[in-house]
Amino acid sequence: MEYKGIDVSKWNGTINWKKVKNFGVDFAIIREGYGKKSPTQIDKKFKENLEQAQNNGINCGVYHYSYAESVEDAINEAQFCLENIQGYRLEYPVVFDVEDKEMLKLTTRQRTDICRAFCREIEKSGYYAMIYTNQDWIKNYLYADELLKNFDLWLAQWGVNKTSYSCGIWQYSSIGSIDGISENVDLNISYKNYPEIMKNKSLNGFTSNKQQENYFVYTIQKGDTLWNLAKIYLGNSTRYEEIKSINNLSSDTIYAGKTLKIPK
């Protein structure tokens, strides 16, 4: 079965997600941010787009646009992404967007290792990682065989009837017209039932019924820390690692307004 999707960022302006849903869009991949950690490099429409899309019944994933020049950079970018998606449930993958021309100064080995490092860091935290790139990059600037045996591909290839590579998602146009979005938008087809995968495998913030019985959901307040929450709810601040583990956190930093699973 095929699913109709779009991908968006702040450049698509304010979106009427109700109209998008009514137009027949099944999923949206939303830009979360770009580069290494910085408050200015979170997409300004990320939270609004994600929450409004999901509130209107559209399944969502996210993508992170990379400027990484080393494996260390890639890991830092992954950690930045993980911080930004903390507390959300994503029905579609967490995608590494590798296409920036500045990365062409690197070797194919370096670019491939960067992709792998980002995706592995994402997977370590319980998320489904995916790589986005175009046909030219996957053919000429990455070791495709190494990456595609481990990670799904979201391929940008426009103006053709069939993709040159097997992929989980095909971005087939950059000039789509969708009700609810004033400018042209990228159009995609998903060939996998990603929401079912995430729920069945308890990935991307989804948990099994058995897991749900073992925790309650807490909304983080200003001033909260993992240590204080562990002391209050688990009786010992040294048990903060249990909270990190159940939430698949890669960092000790938490943010007011987002949610945490607290073990019972």
What b/e readout covers 125-157, taking b as 16+ CB neighbours within 10 angstroms? bbbbbbbbbeeebbeebbebeebbeebbbbbbb
- How large is the average pLDDT for residues 1-29? 97
pLDDT computed for residue 256 by the predictor: 85
CATH 3.10.350.10 segments of the chain: 209-263
Write the burial class of residue 63 (CB in 10 Å: 0-12 exposed, 13-18 middle, 19+ buried). Answer: buried
Assess whether pLDDT exceeds 90 at residue 213: no
Give the SS3 label for residue 158.
coil
**Range 70-99 average pLDDT:** 96
Mean pLDDT along residues 8-30: 98
Does residue 27 have a pLDDT over 80? yes
CATH for the 3-200 domain, from 3.40.50.10860, 3.20.20.80, 3.30.360.10, 3.40.50.300: 3.20.20.80
User: Rounded to whole angstroms, what are the CA distances from 183 to 15, 24, 56, 115?
Assistant: 10, 17, 20, 30
In angstroms, rounded to a whole number, what is the distance separating the alpha carbons of residues 145 and 129? 16
Angle, helix 108-124 to helix 71-85, in steps of 10 degrees = 30
The per-residue pLDDT of the chain, averaged, comes to 93
Instruction: List pLDDT tens digits, range 184-201.
Output: 999 999 999 999 999 999
202-207: average pLDDT: 89
Question: Which CATH number is 209-263 given?
Answer: 3.10.350.10
Q: What confidence score (pLDDT) does residue 62 get? A: 98
Band of residue 209 on the pLDDT scale cut at 50, 70, 90:
low
Q: Where in the chain is the domain with CATH 3.20.20.80?
A: 3-200
Determine what percent of the chain is predicted with pLDDT higher than 90: 76
